[in-house]
Amino acid sequence: MKKKHLILLLALSFAFVVFSCKSESKKEAKEETTTDVKKDAITLTDAEMAKAKKIFFNTCAGCHGTTRKGATGPSLLPDGDGKFPATKDLGTEALVQIITNGLPGGMPDWGRQGVLTPEETELMAKFVQLPPPPVPKFTMADIKKAWHLIVPVADRPTKPMTKRNWKNYFGLILRDAGKVAIIDGDTKERVAILNTGFAVHILRTSNSGRYFYSIGRDGKVTLIDLWPETPQIVAESKASFDARSVEVSKYNGKLGDFRDKYIIVGGYTPSHYVIFDAMTLEPLKLVETKGKVLGKGEFLDEARVASIVASHHDPLWVVNVKETGMVWLVDYSNLDKIDENTAKIPTAQYLHDGGWDHTGKYFLVAANAKNKIVVIDVPNKKLVTIIDVGIKPHPGRGTNIHNKKYGWLWVTGHIGQGVLACIATDPGPNQWKVVKNITMEGAGGGNLFVKSHPKSKHLWADRALSSDPKLQRSIYVYDINSLELIKTFTVPEKYKGRAVHMEYNKNGNEVWVSVWGKKNETTSAVLIFDDKTLQLKKEINGDWLITPTGKFNVYNTANDIY
């Protein structure tokens, strides 16, 4: 075997996954400077090192960690970590091939897509063979300095000023444009485009539905008021250099009415969560999440907050701390005692996305590097079980469907394997068991999202991270009772990009799918399907539609319908 082939085979032996986790941080670029670095004949200038750090932070850190110790993807350390090969032993040539072409387990083909140029690809191959730079600080003082109240609460409308059906608005992320578009779900008209910060990850609504909260991968949180005739940004702040999650308080009960009182933002870099006033975004509390793995192992400074959900039954946020494998149940009823009132439950690494079962009492979350789904009984603050599923589960929030044979099921797809795991959630002998693995057509994995609706007979799934260009553009529809494939859609040829993220409208009779193209192309779209006839009924397009990804319907998001 030629040396070149041997190196490539070794490189391909560690199948890692990298999500596009882009964020911008001028402060990071300013504070993190370096002199020439030399190791094993690799030398980067100050300018090259600054560029490489930005690319890694934008594109790779989400899965491999800012300190490159690994999470969803493996570690990328020069000397290895005992589990994965040392990057300096793999060498530049093999690393260039991986970064260019991707891997079947979900590693995107950054070079082949054109996201990275050949020069940038080689730069990153060299960069990961050098020691990782230190993680910068971001303090409460920095957060307070970033806070900007644009429209005080007293100056906002006291009733909707629009005649549109604002509860059927969609918030559409225009990822690389750093914007969010508000679209009227009834008329399909664009209502507003708002500058929200780079690479928004998700949108969440206030409990009332009036406000959208956006969180970007640059750590910027934005408060959008939907009641004016044209929706507008009324406050903004910054919780960290990098973030993924935001959620509002939803509890109303004997301990008080906390609906829309607070929001929480989970930081990736640095690792902490921040609580803000929900109406003004005034920062109130910062809590670091660093700690021991599963409560007793190695101590980690980088213990990033992945997903967060809010309980309707208790004054709790479910906060998933990725690297440590700890689920925190954060009790916000008394911010002065938040540390002592927080329950910390050891589960499994590395925690990622998840959602509620249909009762809203059990939370299911992926520990995707371990191929597990963790089930938490939130009212009783305890771990129920850990379920073996396929390779690298990625549920998003998952979806709940009612099947005639098995009753209620919660479904997750997988990045690393072409299966959809259907987990029974009703009490009985099948509870918390995978009762059906739906095999997806085509080799490999690549599923990012699944979606259904209480009024629908269908389960929808994408393949956005497949290494197969055809599968990337495919949308699958399954019958929720037979659990069999009934139709496959392919993105029309006039649009360029991957099919990603399904969202229903308020009435549950339409499914909106993004065609996620490149930033420099104007051939992206949002495709709208009739959920009953399974026909394409509307195409939203235009040069303003730059890298559309997630879509969030106001009513469904406010009511946790998924």
Which residues are designated catalytic? 60, 63-64, 107, 352, 394
Strands (E) in 59-168, as ranges, are: 148-149
From 417, 470, 420, select the one nearest 446 (Cα to Cα). 417
* CA dist., res. 248 & res. 253, Å (int): 16
Would you report the helix, strand and coil content of the chain in percent, each value rounded to 5? 20, 35, 45
Structure-token pair, residue 15: 């199948």
- Expressed in angstroms, the distance from the first to the final Cα of the chain is 51
The tokens for 144 are: 């307070």
- Whether 441 contacts 475, CB under 8 Å: no
Which residues make Cβ contacts (< 8 Å) with residue 381, sequence separation at least 6?
Answer: 329, 343, 345
How many other C-beta atoms are found inside a 10 Å radius of the C-beta of residue 452?
A: 27
Q: Please, which residues have CB within 8 angstroms of residue 410's CB and are 6 or more apart in sequence? A: 355, 357, 358, 364, 398, 399, 400, 422, 423, 425
Strand segments, DSSP code E, in 157-315 are 169-174, 179-184, 190-195, 200-205, 211-216, 220-225, 232-238, 242-248, 252-253, 256-257, 262-269, 272-277, 283-288, 291-292, 299-300, 305-310
Tokens found for residue 46: 């100050």
Cβ contacts of 514-517, under 8 Å, gap ≥ 24 = 514/172, 514/548, 514/549, 514/550, 514/551, 515/473, 515/491, 515/548, 516/175, 516/464, 516/547, 516/548, 516/549, 517/547
